[in-house]
Amino acid sequence: MRIDIITVLPELLASPFEASILKRAIEKGLVEVHTHNLRDFSTNNYKQIDDYQFGGGAGMVMMIEPIDKCISKLKLEREYDEIIYMTPDGATLSQGIANELSLKGNIIILCGHYKGVDQRVRDHFITREISIGDFVLSGGELAAAVLCDAVIRLLPGVLGNETSALTDSFQDDLLAPPIYTRPADYKGWKVPDILLSGNTAKIEEWRENEAQKHTEKRRPDLLE
Ligand code: ADE
């Protein structure tokens, strides 16, 4: 998979890919992540990429031309399956969307800033708009990093068996059951006996039951 991220703040998108699972996925060649500074595609000497709103109103708008130039250059180099715009009024990111995107080959992610992008960018280039929740960030970069993390960890070979994504919360519309590690007794707080029993069938049954109970309590909407 290849992910191209278009941003005015490439420095915000460095560290998420320089540690742990995402770093290893890149090193193993399972994903390529490239950031593109939108200012490099500005058409004037001031590297301007935003301008005042037509019709008046507070806040600047990202101009279509630099975005068009950047996307067009990328599209000349390869085909893209999705061009995603990170925006608080997009579809809320879910495990289902992450699963779907993890099956794609090449995607572009455009990070919004200021008031957002000229509507014509959304109308003519964007194939999908994604929000990471009902709150407003100062830009789309952190949201893009969240999306990339959710997608990349699902790529075959990124997680080992011991961290398999198949047992994550949401993967089967249930929250994950409680988990424990050593010591089995800490200050009298004991791990449930069943987990120490060695009876794998019973343990699996217990986990399914706990996942169900936990979901009913915290997220009954997932069971509807
Ligand atoms: N840009 C600003 N806020 C955002 C959000 N909640 N999700 C995605 N992109 C954003």
> Can you read off the two tokens belonging to residue 132?
């990471």
Q: Locate 168 and state its tokens.
A: 């994550």
Phi-psi region of 37 (alpha: psi -120 to 50; beta: other; left: phi over 0): beta
Question: 148-188: per-residue pLDDT in tens?
Answer: 999 999 999 999 875 677 778 887 889 999 999 999 999 99
Q: At what angle do helices 141-152 and 20-27 cross, to 10 degrees?
A: 70
Alpha carbon of 220 to ligand 1 centroid (Å):
26
pTM of the predicted protein model: 0.94
Task: Identify the CA nearest to 122 among candidates 89, 93, 97.
Answer: 89
Give CA–CA dist 87/109, Å, rounded.
11
DSSP structure class, residue 174: S
Q: What local confidence, expressed as pLDDT, does residue 172 receive?
A: 81
Q: Report the pLDDT value the prediction gives residue 171, as an integer from 0 to 100.
A: 77
Q: What CATH number is associated with residue 46?
A: 3.40.1280.10
Same domain as 120, residue 80: yes
Measured from the CB, is residue 87 less than 6 Å from ligand 1?
yes
Residue 157 in contact with ligand 1 by CB distance below 6 A:
no
Q: Ligand 1 mean position to 92 CA, how many Å?
A: 10
**Do the Cβ atoms of 139 and 83 come closer than 8 Å?**
no
Of the candidates 93, 120, 152, which is a domain's last residue? 152
Q: Are residues 173 and 80 in the same domain?
A: no
Same domain, 179 and 110: no
118 and 182 housed in the same domain:
no
List the CATH number of the domain containing 198.
1.10.1270.20
Task: Kindly state the average pLDDT of the residues 74-80.
Answer: 98
Name the residue with tokens 């191209």: 4
Q: What is the largest CA-CA distance in the chain?
A: 70
Provide the domain count of the chain.
2
pLDDT category at 93 given cuts 50, 70, 90 is: very high
Mean pLDDT of 6-21: 96
Rg from Cα positions in the chain:
22
Query: Nearest 5°: phi and psi at 81?
Result: -85, -30
Same structural domain for residues 34 and 65?
Answer: yes
CA dist 70 and 213 (Å) reads 49
Domain extent for 176:
169-223
Residue type, 209: N
Predicted confidence at residue 162, as pLDDT, reads: 55
ipTM for the predicted complex comes to 0.98
Residue 59 annotated as binding site: no
- What is the distance in A from the centroid of ligand 1 to the CA of 88? 4
The answer as to whether 13 is a domain residue is yes
The dihedral through the CA atoms of 20, 24, 25, 27 has a sign that is positive
Q: Is the model's pLDDT at 142 over the cut of 70? A: yes
Sequence letter at residue 79: E
